[in-house]
Chains A and B, each alone.
Chain A
Amino acid sequence: DAGVIQSPRHEVTEMGQEVTLRCKPISGHDYLFWYRQTMMRGLELLIYFNNNVPIDDSGMPEDRFSAKMPNASFSTLKIQPSEPRDSAVYFCASSLGGGRTEAFFGQGTRLTVV
């Protein structure tokens, strides 16, 4: 398996624009996580899915953020409208058994909102 695949690797956008980040988890993994990494807040969980169903979105910062998982092999994280404070590295991860097992991370998307 190629591991968790995220796209794009880098995204630069203007404030107010819509941004969509994409993730393909490892095949067979039932859990998918979206994390955000910033200097100020470190690594924080935004949302996670179990069997394509969103389970906990309490980490999503505000209504401008939304995430979907239409099938077992694809998830998106959307920010609309984007703001400069959304600039961060966004990681997608997947695991077999949720918090009981190790999560495998994608290479991340570095988002810059200008």
Chain B
Amino acid sequence: AQKVTQAQTEISVVEKEDVTLDCVYETRDTTYYLFWYKQPPSGELVFLIRRNSFDEQNEISGRYSWNFQKSTSSFNFTITASQVVDSAVYFCALSEGDGANNLFFGTGTRLTVIP
């Protein structure tokens, strides 16, 4: 079974629209870590955010915000007022347990922002 599910394979929005990328995870551990990475067309993986399982506070960073809800095992990512530079593939990832080191990645959501 997939530990991280990103059900949206591709999303297209018009510039300045808001967009939410969904991430649902599955784990039996009480301690775990969630991440979002961005992969622009140039190919590198860029770290965006990390959250541990004990911190359910939502976070905002500029136009980016993240909604972590343990009750629904979701860690969704919203981009407000999208821009063309936001076009990329976005990956959600999970690391389980305090001693585990493997990052389980979702299959990614390809976001295209149309000017």
A binds B: yes
Please give the residue numbers on chain A whose beta carbons come within 8 Å of chain B beta carbons, in ascending order.
31, 33, 42-45, 48, 50, 55-56, 59, 89, 91, 93, 98-108, 110
Which of chain A's residues has its CB closest to B49's CB? A102
Within 8 A of A (CB), among B18-53: 33, 35, 37, 42-47, 50, 52
Inter-chain CA distance A33–B47, complex, in Å, is 15
In the docked arrangement, what's the CA distance between A104 and B48, Å? 10
Between A and B, 9 residue pairs with Cβ closer than 8 Å are: A93-B45, A101-B50, A102-B50, A103-B103, A104-B47, A105-B37, A105-B47, A107-B43, A108-B44
Mark B residues whose CB is within 8 Å of A: 33, 35, 37, 42-47, 50, 52, 91, 95-103, 105-108
Cβ B95 vs Cβ A100 within 8 A: yes
| A45 and B50 form a contact (CB under 8 A) | no
Interface contact B101-A48, CB-CB below 8 Å:
yes
If A99-B33, A100-B33, A100-B95 touch, whether A45 touches B103 (CB-CB below 8 Å) is: yes
List the B side residues contacting A105 at CB < 8 Å.
37, 44-47
Contact A89–B43 (Cβ < 8 Å)? yes
Known: A43-B103, A98-B99, A101-B50; 17 extra A-B contacts, CB below 8 A, are A42-B105, A42-B106, A55-B101, A59-B102, A89-B43, A98-B95, A99-B95, A99-B102, A100-B52, A102-B35, A105-B37, A105-B45, A105-B46, A105-B47, A106-B44, A107-B44, A108-B44
Pick the most buried of B47, B91, B96: most chain A CB atoms within 10 A of its CB.
Answer: B47
A42's nearest neighbour on chain B, judged by CB, is B107
CB neighbours of A48 from chain B (8 A) = 101-102
Among A43, A106, A107, find the residue whose CB has the most chain B CB atoms closer than 10 A. Answer: A43
What A residues does B100 contact at CB under 8 A?
Answer: 98-99
B102 touches A45 (CB 8 A): yes
Closest to B46 in A: A105
On whether the beta carbons of A56 and B102 are closer than 8 Å, the reply is yes
Instruction: Compute how far the CA of A55 lies from the CA of B100 in the bound complex, rounded to whole angstroms.
Output: 11
A108-B105 contact given A99-B95, A99-B100, A100-B98, CB 8 Å threshold: no
Which of A31, A42, A106, A107 interacts with B101 by CB under 8 Å?
Answer: A31
